[in-house]
Amino acid sequence: MHSTSSSIPTGSYTLPAEIQEFCDVAKRIVRDELMPLESQWLSSPNHAYGMRELPAIRAVFDQATAARLEKISRDTGLFYLMVPEEWGGLGLPMLAQAAILEQLYYSPIMLPIANVANILYECKGDQIERFLKPVIEGAKVTAFAQTEPDAGSDPGGMMQTRAVRKGNGWVVNGTKMWISNANECDFLMVQAVTDAEKRQRGGITMFLVDRKNPGLRVEVPGIRTWLSTEAKQHVVHFDDVFVPDEDVLGEVGKGFSLGQRWLTIHDRLLRGPYALGKMQRSLDMSVEWAKQRVTFGKPLAERQAIQWRLVDMHIDIQALRSMTYEMAARADTGEDVRAEAALVKLCSSEWGARCVDHAIQVHGAMGESLDLPLTLFYRVLRHTQIGGGASEIQRILIARKLLNG
């Protein structure tokens, strides 16, 4: 079921040559290095939704294989594809990142890259050496802690975690929930209310909190979901956790806007390529299967019911790709793309799950096999209709833009 069809857009629109070159490199790596390992990946219980790329391949594969994949990523420069040039990265625009990531997401195995939360580039002074640089190089893993048991879709209005000034720092108390990587990370990016009157308008601050900080407790095991056999999302308790002033990320009171910046790019706009790679793989697999699978004397490809499913998948992919690339290019101009990112998030999550659902149906019983990536693709894409802001929240953001101009 390893199709070699291209997921690069064709027709009147072509990517700039320098971006296309990176895409071609990524495509070759996926097909030559990652896809042959998929059987081992899919059968392993050691990876889970939300795990960072480097820890995931180290958990699943032997040391030599994991080291080879990391070396390939570093040698080709793809390891730094999302890192600004000033921090030793490629300095690629968002359009290039989206196109390359689409190629990498064609396989359920993610090539190890420096997947750095964009807000960490706000690090100042010794924060750069203690937090930013180790994350860039893969020596440290971080987690984003915003969601709470009673503050999911409305974190600004409902957040209960508090940080109170004490001496040369802050004392944090509260509980966060659904925090990916919480038990594996080295530090957390934690939002806490520092001014209950202002809240999201200047009253929420972002703190960099070491996971081993006294008073910080991660519930183990994590929260069991259908996303993976390993529970990698956790409840995190903060009981009189002291955080010094030098571990405030950005400015006091500006933490909510930092969180929104992370969500806009990482959890919304980049959901486009995240879905596109899986959608294109699902379509390629379905076309191949429809041609070779014979029922009642004819290949499935000759059945109109199957043809229409394939066409519907193709339509969703083409529309989402055009939308994603346009919004990424607009982000590159410095435009405020919060509503546009919400549009990409909404369509990628809903169309993505729909597309993979078609693929599973086309494959019939084989579509439910855990030896194929389709069920994994479906689970993670269906999850994106909730995680990172539910589809309903994305519609609210889009409506707000439409109504307010």
Across residues 86-97, what is the average pLDDT?
A: 95
The highest-level CATH class for domain 17-120 is: mainly alpha
Q: In a 3-state reduction of DSSP, which class is residue 343?
A: helix
Above 90 in pLDDT, residue 97? yes
Does the pTM of the predicted model rise above 0.85? yes
Tokens (6 digits) for 133: 């640089």
DSSP-derived pairing of the beta strands 169-180 and 162-166: antiparallel
Q: Is the pLDDT of residue 6 over 50?
A: no
Q: Domain coordinates of the chain in residue numbers?
A: 17-120, 142-249, 260-404
DSSP of 347-365, one letter per residue? HHHHHHHHHHHHHHHHHGG
Q: φ and ψ at 231, to 5 degrees?
A: -85, 105
pLDDT per position as a tens digit, 179-238: 998 999 999 999 999 999 999 999 999 999 999 999 999 999 999 999 888 888 999 999
CATH domain 142-249 topology: Butyryl-CoA Dehydrogenase, subunit A; domain 2 (2.40.110)
Task: Identify the CATH homologous superfamily for domain 260-404.
Answer: Butyryl-CoA Dehydrogenase, subunit A, domain 3 (1.20.140.10)
Would you state the pLDDT for residue 3?
46
The pLDDT value given to residue 118: 94
What mean pLDDT is predicted for residues 68-97? 96
Listed residue (275, 300, 293) closest to 357, CA to CA? 275
Angle at CA of residue 35, ends 32 and 36, nearest 5°: 80
Q: Identify the H or E element spanning 208.
A: strand 204-210
* Per-residue pLDDT at 385 exceeds 80: yes
Question: 217, 239 in Cβ contact below 8 A?
Answer: yes
Residue 50's pLDDT band (cuts 50, 70, 90): confident
Per-residue confidence band for 13, with pLDDT thresholds at 50, 70 and 90: low
In the predicted structure, residue 8 carries a pLDDT above the cut 80 = no
Rounded CA separation 268/150 (Å): 22
